[in-house]
Amino acid sequence: MNSPRHSTGIDRLDQMLGGGLIPGTLTVVLGATGIGKTQLGIQFAQAGLSGEGQRGIFFDLTSRGDSQNHAAYAKRLTNWDLQTLSPDDKPDLPHIWDAKSARSDYLHIFERAGRRVTLEDLDREAWQEWRVEFMKKIDQSIAFFYGNFVHGVRRCIIDGVEPVEKASDSFQFHVFDYVYHQILRKDHDWVARDLFRAGFREQAEQIGRHPYDFNDITCLLLLTSHETMLDDLLSRHIESGDVLSNANTIIAMGKIRDGMRMTRGLHVAKHRGSSCDDAIVEYRVTEAGLELL
C-alpha cells in the first residue's frame, strides 16, 4: 500500500496535484534562477515536520562555490536553523545510529569547487579530476542520506543544477543519476552495504533495527533553466534520457506577461498516475514563501 501523499507545504499547489506529491517518485521543479524554486524546496522540506515528523534534507550540487543560500531562506521563511554537514568531514559511522549525531539538514558536496559543469568546459584531464573528486565524496554522500533516512527523513531536495544545452554532458547530472539510482532508489540494506563495506556484518543487527522503504522517499529536483518565460518552458524540447522524461511530476515556474506588467506563473506540466489541475496559476514570492493567487 502506498504511503500518504507528501504535502508541498502550499495548500493550493497540493490541490493542483490531487493531494500532494506521490512518495517514491521524482518531482522536477523547472525554472530560471530567482523564480522561487528554492523557496518552494524549503516549504516542501518544512512540511515534512508535520507530515512524517522530520523535515526534509538538502543536497546542494552548486559547483562554483556559491550555494543557493538555503540557510538564510530557511531561517527567514520558517525560523529553521539548518544543521550543515561539511563535505570535508569523514563519515562518523560508529555514531550513525544516534539521531543527534547522524541527522543533518544540508550538504553542499562540491563546496569551494569553483569549476564549470559540462564536458565542453573541461578537457579530458580536468574531466577525470572531476570524477575522482566525486568518488572521494561518495562515502560522505551515502552517509548523509542513509544517516537521515534511518532516522525518519522521507524527503530530499537536490538543488544547484545549472542549465546546460545537453544533459548528458553535465557532470552534475552524472552525480544526480548516481545519487538517485544508487542511493535514493535502492533497498536500505544494500545502501548499508555500500556504506559499511567490510564492516557490514558487524553492523548487521543495527541495520536490521533501522529499516526504511525507499518507496516512501520523495525526491524534489530543483532544475535551473535557460528559459525565463513560462510559455518557453512548457514548449521546450525534451531529449531522450533527459531527467524530465523520467520524472513522475514536473512543476514549471516562469514569468508570464499580463498587459504591461510581468508576473510569475506556475503550471503542473506532468503528474503521472494522478489527476491534476491544468491551470496556470499566478504566484508571488513573499516573506513567508510562495503564495499562489
User: Cα dist. 112→14, 61, 70, 115, 174 in Å?
Assistant: 36, 11, 16, 9, 19
pLDDT of residue 116: 58
Q: Which residues of the chain have pLDDT under 50?
A: 1
* The three grid cell numbers given for residue 192, joined into one nine-digit string: 548499508
74-118, pLDDT tens digit by residue?
999 999 999 988 877 788 888 999 999 899 999 998 765 555 556
Predicted local distance difference test score (pLDDT) of residue 247 = 92
CB 182 within 8 A of CB 194: yes
Q: Calculate what percentage of the chain has a pLDDT beyond 70.
A: 90
Asked if residue 222 lies in contact with residue 37, where contact means CB atoms within 8 angstroms, the answer is yes
Q: Please state, in angstroms and as integers, the Cα–Cα distance from residue 289 to each residue in 29, 76, 281, following that order.
A: 15, 9, 16
- Give the pTM: 0.92
Q: Taking each helix axis from N to C terminus, what angle separates 37-51 and 70-78, rounded to the nearest 10 degrees?
A: 60
Question: What does 161-226 look like in DSSP terms, one character per residue?
Answer: EPP-S-GGGBHHHHHHHHHIIIIITS-HHHHHHHHHGGGTTTTHHHHHHS---GGG-EEEEEEE-S
In terms of phi and psi (left: phi > 0; alpha: psi -120 to 50; beta: otherwise), the region of 86 is beta
Give first-to-last CA distance, the chain, whole Å.
Answer: 34
C-alpha cell at 199: 564492516
Question: Residue 23, by phi and psi: left (phi above 0), alpha (psi -120 to 50) or beta?
Answer: beta
For residue range 216-255, what is the model confidence (pLDDT) as tens digits? 999 999 999 989 999 999 998 766 557 788 899 999 999 9
Residue 177 one-letter amino acid? D
